[in-house]
Structure 1
Amino acid sequence: MSTEPLKIHLDDRDIGRSLRHDVRVGLTGVPKWLPPKWFYDARGSELFEEITRLPEYYPTRAERAVLATHATEIAELTGAKTLIELGSGSSEKTRLLLDAFTRRRGLGTFVPLDVSASALAASTAALAADYAGLRVRGIVGDFTRHLDRLPAGGRRLVIFLGGTIGNLLPAERAEFLTRTRAALEVGDWLLVGTDLVKDPAVIVPAYDDEAGVTAEFNRNVLRVLNRELGADFDPAAFTHVALWDPEQEWIEMRLRAQRPVRVRVLDLDVAFAEGEELRTEVSAKFHPEGIAAELASAGLHAERFWTDPDDLFGVTLARAD
């Protein structure tokens, strides 16, 4: 086994500056909004792991089913020597790919990139222990900012799982895919997971579960702001809302003020009218031809597209032209 010291491109000061910027811009916007990355402190990450096990939350199970079925094919098609994972977290689903590449032989390096140094240190140590001979090189960074820091050389497969690409707005997705292509060489690969457009009666409960776990996850962002910025949000004053937008074909998660609320955060005095909503997440859903077109616009050719048996979730393998 071989694990290297983490390469740090994002530290606590960077994260603090980014949080302050997002809060200042988002809470003075009309309508108010916050980006979903601020859900994920330690408690938020625990809540999300709980969400992935809920009966209503199909994406994790469906994507896992795709990878379990097609991991060997992915290894054979790409012949990758280096596997790079963006927003890696625990890299749990990635183990299906690592198992397939290990059986095939030839994979030399795994490079997980994540914003959390502590989570990355734990996951890289576990992976290095479990995959003898694999070189593990963790990068602490933000996939929207640090794609130019990815290691070069060898045939590479970049993976971006979980439907996370759907959290980016269309212009942000275009920029992300363009920057991803710029970080790749001709012949490198991108594997991306996308939740698919389907009956909203299936989608909405995945973001508004009966047990209320997603509601707590949503309100957790207010606790993050209270702790990190000294804000005085009362999370109990906000209810969780999940709405399907049929025109944009995405879910919006929001927090709705149950009464008039005034909050002090940074040097801002932020007022919420009764019923006013704070958007905390967009989660776009895709058609196969739509994601292929977005990839093509960035210079990435969709070579394969797979779904689970129920056609809930798609995984696309694209090649850098």
Structure 2
Amino acid sequence: MSDMDLDVHRSGTDITEALRADVREGLRAKRKWLPAKWFYDARGSALFERITELPEYYPTRAEREILRGHAAGIADITAAHTLVELGSGSSEKTRLLLDALGAHGTLRTFVPLDVSESALAEAARAIAKEHPALAVHGVVGDFTEHLDLLPGERPRLVAFLGGTIGNFLPLDRAKFLRSVREVLDPGEWLLLGTDLVKERETLERAYDDREGVTAEFNRNVLAVINERLGADFDPGAFEHVSYWDAGNEWIEMRLRARKPMKVRVPGAGIEVEFAEGEYIRTEISVKFRQEGVRAELAEAGFRLDRWWTDEEGRFGVSLSCATDGAGGMIE
């Protein structure tokens, strides 16, 4: 069996402190909001895995189709010694990259990074078992905070898949892409998954399925706050809303109060009032166009090298190279 190491840069106490800060800020705002990352406790992660299998939710299938068709080419172009996966989850799609890089003969280390220690350890052990010649070095942390702590031999390929980049507001997205560029040397690589702009009906259906799994997933953020901060939210008192904001070209997920209520959050030291119909924004999911992705990557210090879509043109995967800061690439 291969080596499997685990670095923990974020403890349960750290997670609770971060949640407390976000709840205080977001639920006391004039227009209430919560970050999407708080969906993902063990139950939330399991619900999201169910979402990826729903007929309405196309992004996972579309991205998998792209990777299945181009993983070998990605391995040839990058010749990466280290594959870094941000927000690894189950690492299911990344297995296509691991297989291709392994077949290419260059890959030596896999570095999955995720905020959930239990999920990361399980995924890392499975990868280590499947790839006995590979060093697997898991990192428990937040990819918005701990990028500079990533191990691995150069050249590295950083994979940020699933369209998760769309959960960032524009300024935060620019900051994140710059932070990725700052930890890479010129000539290293970023593989980025981006959901694309398409007709409203398809987008809204993908985030409001008939079985109600997405609604359950959305309300799970309230269960997380109840569990970690001792709040008394009644998740059933909130209605799931999926809304396409054409001006910003993003899907917005909301929880709308079905009635007036007052919620105590002892762990954050606050009490929150809701009017009937008032909502909490729990997620944005930006949809992209190729020219926009190219421009944002260039602004961060990357040169778009390859662009692929699935057969129906629903999802885009880009491979970009870190430049030397003068618009070129150091060979």
The answer to whether the 8 Å contact 2:191/2:317 transfers is yes
**1:130-149 pair list within 5 angstroms:** 130-149=130-149
Q: Counterpart of 2:29?
A: 29
Q: Counterpart of 1:171?
A: 171
d(CA) in 2 for partners of 1:303, 1:89: 27
- Write the letter of the residue equivalent to 2:164: T
Deviation at 1:5, TM superposition (A): 2.6
Q: Does 1:314 align with 2:310?
A: no
Q: Does 1:305 align with 2:317?
A: no
d(CA) in 2 for partners of 1:235, 1:154: 46
Q: Secondary structure at the match of 2:254?
A: strand
- Write the letter of the residue equivalent to 2:298: A
Deviation at 1:192, TM superposition (A): 0.3
d(CA) in 1 for partners of 2:220, 2:262: 18
Q: Does 1:285 align with 2:287?
A: yes
After superposition, what is the alpha-carbon deviation per residue over 1:155-197, rounded to whole angstroms, capped at 9, x for unaligned? 1100000000000100110000001000000100000000000
The answer to whether the 8 Å contact 1:305/1:316 transfers is yes
Q: Counterpart of 2:71?
A: 71
Q: Counterpart of 1:268?
A: 270
After superposition, what is the alpha-carbon deviation per residue over 1:102-122, rounded to whole angstroms, capped at 9, x for unaligned? 111111000000011111111
The answer to whether the 8 Å contact 1:3/1:125 transfers is no
Q: Does 1:104 align with 2:99?
A: no
Work out which of the residue numbers 298, 301, 306 in structure 2 matches 1:296. 298
Q: Counterpart of 1:243?
A: 243
The answer to whether the 8 Å contact 1:147/1:179 transfers is yes
The answer to whether the 8 Å contact 2:72/2:101 transfers is yes
Identity of aligned residues (%): 61
**1:224-239 pair list within 5 angstroms:** 224-239=224-239
Deviation at 1:151, TM superposition (A): 1.8
After superposition, what is the alpha-carbon deviation per residue over 1:78-103, rounded to whole angstroms, capped at 9, x for unaligned? 11111000000110000011111111
d(CA) in 1 for partners of 2:37, 2:100: 30
The answer to whether the 8 Å contact 2:166/2:194 transfers is yes
d(CA) in 2 for partners of 1:30, 1:175: 25
Q: Counterpart of 1:187?
A: 187
The answer to whether the 8 Å contact 1:194/1:285 transfers is yes
d(CA) in 2 for partners of 1:153, 1:94: 18
Deviation at 1:69, TM superposition (A): 0.3
d(CA) in 1 for partners of 2:5, 2:118: 12
Deviation at 1:152, TM superposition (A): 5.0
The answer to whether the 8 Å contact 2:4/2:125 transfers is no
Deviation at 1:4, TM superposition (A): 3.1
d(CA) in 2 for partners of 1:267, 1:177: 34
- Write the letter of the residue equivalent to 1:148: D
d(CA) in 2 for partners of 1:11, 1:222: 21
Deviation at 1:267, TM superposition (A): 1.8
d(CA) in 1 for partners of 2:86, 2:243: 28
Deviation at 1:3, TM superposition (A): 2.5
Deviation at 1:229, TM superposition (A): 0.6
Q: Counterpart of 2:215?
A: 215
d(CA) in 2 for partners of 1:83, 1:146: 16
Give the root-mean-square deviation of aligned CA atoms: 0.8
Q: Secondary structure at the match of 2:56?
A: coil
The answer to whether the 8 Å contact 2:78/2:157 transfers is yes
The answer to whether the 8 Å contact 2:241/2:255 transfers is yes
Identify the range of structure 1 (233-242 vs 144-153) with the bigger mean alpha-carbon deviation. 144-153
> Unmatched 5+ residue regions in structure 2?
324-331
d(CA) in 1 for partners of 2:107, 2:153: 13
d(CA) in 1 for partners of 2:160, 2:67: 13
TM-score (norm: length of structure 2)? 0.96
| Stretches of 4+ aligned residues off by more than 6 angstroms | none
d(CA) in 1 for partners of 2:89, 2:115: 9
The answer to whether the 8 Å contact 1:3/1:135 transfers is yes
d(CA) in 1 for partners of 2:3, 2:176: 28
Q: Secondary structure at the match of 2:5?
A: coil
The answer to whether the 8 Å contact 2:4/2:128 transfers is no
d(CA) in 2 for partners of 1:203, 1:254: 15
d(CA) in 2 for partners of 1:106, 1:254: 44
| Equivalent residues, number | 321
The answer to whether the 8 Å contact 1:3/1:124 transfers is no
TM-score (norm: length of structure 1)? 0.99
The answer to whether the 8 Å contact 2:81/2:153 transfers is no
**1:89-128 pair list within 5 angstroms:** 89-128=89-128
Q: Secondary structure at the match of 1:280?
A: strand
- Write the letter of the residue equivalent to 1:34: L
